[in-house]
Amino acid sequence: FLSLVAEFCCGFFVILILGNFWFLAVLYLLWLYLDWETPCTGGRRSQWVRSWTVWKYFREYFPIHLIKTSDLNPNHNYLLGFHPHGVLVAGAFGNFCTGSNFKNLFPGLTPYLHIMPIWFGCPFFREYVMSAGMVSASKESVSYVLNNEGGGHASVIVIGGAEESLNAHPGSLTLNILKRKGFIKMALKHGAHLVPVFSFGENELFKQVANPKGSWLRNVQEKLQKIMGFALPLFHARGVFQYSFGLIPYRQPIHTVVGSPIPVKRNLNPTTEEIEQLHALYLEKLRKLFEEHKRNYGIPEHKSLIFE
């Protein structure tokens, strides 16, 4: 979805350059230069954009639900680890970038969804994603959000990243997390409480071409990801008037469950051992969150999360 919108924005920019409106393109490039750091300094959200009626229909299509399991004190800052990535990341976008569900459930907290910095280099598209409350996933950006002295900020990070989208098959419970410890270090440095979030149904929205690890397709996808910075899953779902083939996601309910916070004391220079200990605790709490709620959302009793 983001890719399609980004392509449209880039295409519009090219039309400005090639047409009789090249001066508008030059003015925008000047604006882009002057505004380059904004995605790393809290962005520029617009409540008007976040409240568009189209997002209401977007959430109701699946539908998307946000489930609260514990209060989050607005006097603290939080780092919410979102799992899994899926193909669309619909739960993260629908719950943290549109509507007022998050605000109603967690009053006093402002969510910031961190996405890959590459998206903010796309003309016009960057303005759109920032207006929805998205900011860069760079270290500088996360630090800016979590450095709010009065608390009330919530960084939402899709921990598995683009790499995890290659595992987004219906029924898959594999998370790329064992080697991902940067978010733990950031939480420690800023004293941000960690909150595991699991989005049930995220991997059910599309069917992906079989790409087991070691296959030629997976090798090509992983190499392209290293070069471009984002993954290219080959997926399909339903069409507009038929259900056999298309790129419109299936209507599968998404339940994004926000777990209980893990208190974190500020530590400007955490040791490797301290990072490892907190990482292990986070994995334990994430697994517990999944096990406690899987029965409610159609996950068989014998199935559990796979960390890799």
What does the pLDDT profile of the chain (308 residues) look like in tens digits?
A: 555 555 455 555 565 566 666 677 778 788 888 999 999 999 999 999 999 999 999 999 999 999 999 999 999 999 999 999 999 899 999 999 999 999 999 999 999 999 999 889 888 788 989 999 999 999 999 999 999 999 999 999 999 998 899 999 999 999 999 999 999 999 999 999 999 999 999 999 999 999 999 999 999 988 888 877 777 888 889 988 888 888 899 999 999 999 999 999 999 999 999 999 999 999 999 999 999 999 999 999 999 999 99
- Coil vs helix vs strand at 44: coil
At 11 the pLDDT is 57
Phi-psi sector, 281: left (phi>0), alpha (psi -120 to 50), beta: alpha
Whose CA is closest to 202, among 232, 230, 160, 140? 160
At 124 the pLDDT is 79
At 32 the pLDDT is 86
The arrangement of secondary structure in 40-307, i.e. its CATH architecture, is 3-Layer(aba) Sandwich (3.40)
What is the reported pTM? 0.92
Q: Which residues of 163-193 are buried (b: 16+ CB within 10 A; e: fewer)?
A: bbbbbbbeebbbbbbeebbebbbbbbbbebb
At 245 the pLDDT is 85
d(CA 100, CA 77) in angstroms, rounded, equals 19
Q: What does the domain layout of the chain look like in residue ranges? A: 1-35, 40-307
DSSP state of 249: P
Between helix 182-190 and helix 139-146 the angle, nearest 10°, is 30
